[in-house]
Amino acid sequence: MTVTDVSGRVRIDLPCSGDHDRFAVVYAEGAPRVPAVVPCPECAAELPLHLERLTESGGLTGCLACGHPELSTRKDFPRALGIGIVVLAAVLVPFLPKWYPSLIAAAILDLLLHRFAPEVVVCYVCEAEHRGFPTSPRHPRFDRTIEERLRYGDRAVMGSPMRPGGTADAPEPEH
């Protein structure tokens, strides 16, 4: 398969096959330059990538780390930063005048940071993170029913059946 040239740097954080607490980070100058095999920096295990999950335009039809077709999209926003902003605003409340200006400023700052934060595509199965890839096909935000089905299988209380082709261009979850 040939992938047309896609400008921009991509990054994949994929779990090591031996230890899922370790992540190997892969950088490439665009989707066409993603290597087929990546060595784990910790244990030197060779981690093969599923390049068949790339579209002609460099988008993702599935996870490059494990090949699973179901992915979710979320904002690439450091949660610690968001929590830090709220905590700082809450600490400043007693020292500022009425109407809680620090909380209002924190909410506006948090909203702006979230609005302009880039998106990351995450695999439901191996939790690999894909950054910088084209947004077509688009993957919906996190869906608890998909996670339930993958984690618990037939015992899942609310697991929805897998869509043909995975989550590529699937509608957003209803909840």
Q: What's the whole-model pTM score?
A: 0.79
pLDDT level of residue 6 (50, 70, 90 thresholds): very low
pLDDT tens by residue, 104-126 = 888 898 888 888 989 999 999 98
Asked whether residue 99 is domain-assigned, the answer is yes
pLDDT tens by residue, 49-67 = 999 999 988 899 999 999 9
- Asked whether the predicted pLDDT for residue 48 surpasses 70, the reply is yes
Q: Which residues contact 18 (CB under 8 A, 6 or more apart)?
A: 40, 43, 45
Same domain for 104 and 29, yes or no, is no
Contact 53, 3 (CB under 8 A): no
What is the domain extent for residue 124? 10-75+118-155
Same domain for 28 and 100, yes or no, is no
Same domain for 111 and 131, yes or no, is no
